[in-house]
Amino acid sequence: MSVPLLDLTLQYSQLKDESDAVWFDVMEHAAYIGGPRVAALEKEVADYVGTEYCVACANGTDALFLILEALGVTRGDEVITTPWTFFATIECITHMGATPVMVDIDPKTYNMDPVALEAAITPKTKAIIPVHIYGQCCDMDAINAIAQKHDLVVIEDACQAMGATYKGKKAGALSRAAAFSFFPTKNLGCGGDGGCLTTDDKELADRCRLIANHGMPEKYIHTDFGTNSRLDALQAGLLSARLTKLDEWNQQRADAAAHYDEELAGVGDLVTPYVDPDGTHIYHLYILKTDKAVQLQEFLGSKSIGSALYYPLSLHEQKCFDLLDGYVKPDLPVAEECANATIAIPCYPGITRAQQDEVIAAVKEFFAADK
Ligand SMILES: *Cc1c(COP(=O)(O)O)cnc(C)c1O
């Protein structure tokens, strides 16, 4: 039996009638972009996350960009984040002309290490972007306390963490503003590209909305220079339906994760995910750490079991930084050690016990042969 890393067809089959109705309704009314479906989704997401405002946009990368632009992050500023993330986190900083400062991660959670954060603050530091990697929140109390002490703004990259909680609050409600992605593979994904940002700050929300629509408060009146970053009505309709299932789906991921934890702890040199008692993990990715991750991936592939390395190379070691004037590669031993050592195995809503047991058997077989 083959087991994919992720099976997205279940999200459609479970909501087929609702999804089809959205499609036909959008086509019939030819109201493709923005409109009441998008406004409704914004309200639903804000209510779900627990913020006053949500602004939909074209993707998670843009959500980060809109926030930085609205906050006035610019050339000469430094923005602190980690290299253990998807590239977009860094890219949005360089697009502002600002300098990304990458600090090391906590070896247990793979999230930003607050001690490393504080050590990296300089007079040029303007903002901090903690990334809730794999679906588990960063140590936000520590990060927010440091930010407050140094008068810095915190922006969550919550693209992998819709529904994750920290001390009873949801990811996206733990800082000045947060970015989410609705890319199909995310826990709340749509049928294409999509994203949003959440905040309690009305002025910031309004400004992001303005920038996302060509700096145009009224048709053909431009008070600012912006961009085109909008969400389709079709995507909004799909997302509204899927949001009603999100907690159930995240619970199914957590249940699957618990089964892996039980079966795989102590196998070979595997390290199963650490869950911070301050929050809940939504397992956007179920990550095993092992020195043999590359070989394990190859072995699983030979058994038609999907897996992937998140990430094969830490971002601070990427070639693109040669293009940044004055970039000095930081020494980030934890992130460097995680490169090619953290592997995701199939963990998604609807995965069956039989499929999981197939994965578990294959992993055990690999380590038994490896002895
Ligand atoms: C997916 C992702 C993004 C970017 O989202 P897109 O919608 O693909 O632009 C940014 N940061 C992280 C951590 C992500 O996982």
Mean pLDDT of 99-105: 97
Q: Using most ligand atoms within 8 A of CB, pick from 160, 190, 197 the residue to mutate for ligand 1.
A: 160
3-state secondary structure 19-86: HHHHHHHHHHHCCCECCHHHHHHHHHHHHHHCCCEEEEECCHHHHHHHHHHHCCCCCCCEEEECCCCC
Residue bearing the bigger pLDDT, 22 or 10: 22
Beta bridge partners of 343: 288, 309
11 confidence band (pLDDT: 50, 70, 90): confident
How is residue 107 written in tokens? 């070896």
Ligand 1 centre to CA of 100 (Å) is 17
Rg (CA), the chain: 21
371 confidence band (pLDDT: 50, 70, 90): low
Contact 251, 348 (CB under 8 A): no
Ligand 1 centre to CA of 358 (Å) is 30
Inform me whether the pLDDT recorded for 40 exceeds 90.
Answer: yes
How is residue 237 written in tokens? 């309709």
Q: Please list every protein residue whose CB sits less than 6 Å from any atom of ligand 1.
A: 59-61, 85-86, 88-89, 131, 157, 159-160, 181, 183, 193, 195
pTM exceeds cut of 0.95: yes
